[in-house]
């Protein structure tokens, strides 16, 4: 049984979490992306709680029922990492997380967490979330990636909230089709699933959009240097933890070029390419994703 539990953090942020499994068991933590929420992990929470893990999936700050500070600077990476480190201290105070599993924006937080606090987790699992080193390189030099990420400059507009809410969130539904395969079905996006999303989006979009507004990792424009003005030292990019990367190869927002050279930053990596998978792999193939993660955790 999945229960919703708020965790009050020392920094004043409250994260609403979906929790299941037996306390005291090894903890798996799951971080969602945009425009989603913790509920997307429910099939994996159920699977891994039955496999002997305690599972925790927070709504990240700014999403759903979690705290949503109004200041854009509150969504910078350092604050997001602090949230997850503080949550880990509450849900697994005596041992490192068995793994941190993350997708999309949750992956951006997880990459930083693994770099800055590797002692807090044993393994890292990334699903279609670009490593900051390869993402920065592609945003600077790849017209393909710049075009694929052009939507990010739409999401930082001051009127993005109102535009996204128009016509029953017409533009947000398009994220699920446009970031997938253009010729592929989206059978998972049924009316029940849409109602879950509506319930999240109806609570407000500003917090979620502030992730984009707070980050310079977006395509440069004549009036905004964005990624072109950023240099990141190798020490901020290296991940020494064992890492499983699962990648849907038909992701229209995150082309396969982001995988080139990834081993430079993540030397202890296993890469699983899902040729028919899109950005929404967790929705499309939850059983396959769960199996890949379980095999990875049992490799030892």
List pLDDT tens digits, range 83-121.
999 999 999 999 999 999 999 999 999 999 999 999 999
pLDDT of 293 = 98
Q: Is the separation of the CB atoms in 201 and 210 below 8 Å? A: no
Domain that holds residue 264: 3-297
**How many domains is the chain partitioned into structurally?**
1
pTM of structure: 0.97
Among the residue ranges 23-37, 177-191, 199-213, the one predicted with the least confidence is 177-191
Query: What share of the chain has pLDDT > 90, as a percent?
Result: 95
pLDDT at position 185 over 70: no
Closest CA to 29 of 132, 120, 104: 120
Whole-angstrom Cα distance, residue 114 to residue 29? Answer: 13
What is the predicted pLDDT for the residue at 182? 45
pLDDT band at 157 (very low <50, low <70, confident <90, very high): very high
Percent of the residues in the chain that have a pLDDT greater than 70, as a whole number: 97
Burial of 153 (0-12, 13-18, 19+ CB in 10 A): middle
pLDDT at 178: 72
Quickly state the pLDDT bin for 186 (edges 50, 70, 90): confident
Give the pLDDT confidence score for residue 180 in this predicted structure. 56
**For tokens 């901020």, what's the residue?**
236
Range with the poorest average pLDDT among 13-17, 94-98, 178-182: 178-182
DSSP 26: P
Both ends of the chain: CA-CA distance in Å?
A: 29
What's the chain's average pLDDT? Answer: 95
Q: Give residue 25's pLDDT.
A: 96
In this prediction, residue 290 carries a pLDDT of: 98
CATH value at residue 88: 3.40.50.1820
Integer Cα distance of 72 and 183 in angstroms? 37
Q: Which residue has the tokens 């109102």?
A: 162
Q: pLDDT tens digits for 139-154?
A: 999 999 999 999 999 9
Q: Tens digits of per-residue pLDDT, 194-237? A: 999 999 999 999 999 999 999 999 999 999 999 999 999 999 99
């Amino acid at each position: 049984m999945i229960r919703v539990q708020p965790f009050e953090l020392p920094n004043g942020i409250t994260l609403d979490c979906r929790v299941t499994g037996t306390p005291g068991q090894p903890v798996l933590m799951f971080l969602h992306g945009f425009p989603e929420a913790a509920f997307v992990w429910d099939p994996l929470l159920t699977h891994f709680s039955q496999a002997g893990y305690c599972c925790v999936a927070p709504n990240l700050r700014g999403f759903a029922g979690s705290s949503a500070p109004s200041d854009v600077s509150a969504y910078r990476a350092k604050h997001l990492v602090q949230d997850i480190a503080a949550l880990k201290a509450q849900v697994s105070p005596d041992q490192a997380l068995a793994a941190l599993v993350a997708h999309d924006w949750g992956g951006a937080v997880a990459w930083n967490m693994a770099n800055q606090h590797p002692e807090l987790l044993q393994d890292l699992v990334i699903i279609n979330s670009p490593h900051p080193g390869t993402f920065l390189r592609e945003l600077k030099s790849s017209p393909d990636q710049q075009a694929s990420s052009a939507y990010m400059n739409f999401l930082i507009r001051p009127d993005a909230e109102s535009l996204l809410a128009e016509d029953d969130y017409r533009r947000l539904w398009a994220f699920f089709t446009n970031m997938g395969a253009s010729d592929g079905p989206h059978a998972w996006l049924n009316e029940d699933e849409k109602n879950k999303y509506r319930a999240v989006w109806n609570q407000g979009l500003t917090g979620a959009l502030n992730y984009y507004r707070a980050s310079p990792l977006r395509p440069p424009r004549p009036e905004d240097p964005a990624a072109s003005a950023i240099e990141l030292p190798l020490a901020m990019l290296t991940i020494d933890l064992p890492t499983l990367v699962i990648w849907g190869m038909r992701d229209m927002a995150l082309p396969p070029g982001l995988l080139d050279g990834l081993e430079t930053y993540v030397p202890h990596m296993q890469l699983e390419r899902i040729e028919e998978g899109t950005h929404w792999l967790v929705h499309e193939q939850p059983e396959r994703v769960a199996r890949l993660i379980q095999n990875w955790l049992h490799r030892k």
